[in-house]
Amino acid sequence: MHRIVLVSIMAVVISLALISCGGEASSEQTVRKASPSPVPRAPMDEEAVDGEGSTVERGTEVYVSMQDPGGSGEYIYDPEELSFNVGDKITLVLESESEFHTFTIEDLGIDMAVAGGAVDEVTYTFDSAGTYEFICIPHKELGMVGKITVN
């Protein structure tokens, strides 16, 4: 008799667990669009860190969102194209949506790793005209690339 009661109780518990964890998949997909306003951050000094880890004076802030819209398999930078002039000092504020990403510009020696949900930044003065590719090292083959044009 005890076995029947125990098996019945276990069946009810398992059924409740399956019901609470399961459910129908929504036919609607949520697509996160880039926010036109920057991610709120704690107030910072007028200094930033350059690509080599040294403290430098902050430049003009430019926000770059590193996105991996949930479940889509798409990995993108927003914006994926940036344009500056020779001599511009820029502080790139890098926001990683929910996964680990990098912001890497091999030709300029910039390699920033940003944890999922985190914000980090790098300040750089563009001293040479040209076009520079930036990539997310783990997601480059999935299309997570962009370019900076320096006029």
The tens place of each residue's pLDDT in the chain, 151 residues long, gives 555 655 556 555 565 544 545 444 433 333 333 333 344 343 344 455 555 566 668 899 999 999 987 767 789 999 999 999 999 999 999 999 888 999 999 999 999 999 999 999 999 999 999 999 999 999 999 999 999 999 9
Report the distance separating Cα 123 and Cα 48, nearest Å. 6
Rounded Cα distance, 68 and 80, in Å = 14
Q: What is the pLDDT of residue 11?
A: 57
Q: How many angstroms separate the most distant Cα atoms in the chain?
A: 84
**C-alpha dihedral sign at 129, 50, 91, 137:** positive
Residue 29 is predicted with a pLDDT of 35
Domain residue ranges of the chain, discontinuous segments joined by +: 47-150
3.30.450.150, 3.40.50.2300, 2.60.40.420, 3.90.470.20: CATH of 47-150: 2.60.40.420
Q: In what order do the strands lie in the sheet with 89-96?
A: 76-78, 60-67, 89-96, 119-125
Check residue 37 and give its pLDDT: 37
Q: In sequence order, what are the beta bridge partners of 82?
A: 148
pLDDT of residue 9: 62
Entry pTM: 0.64
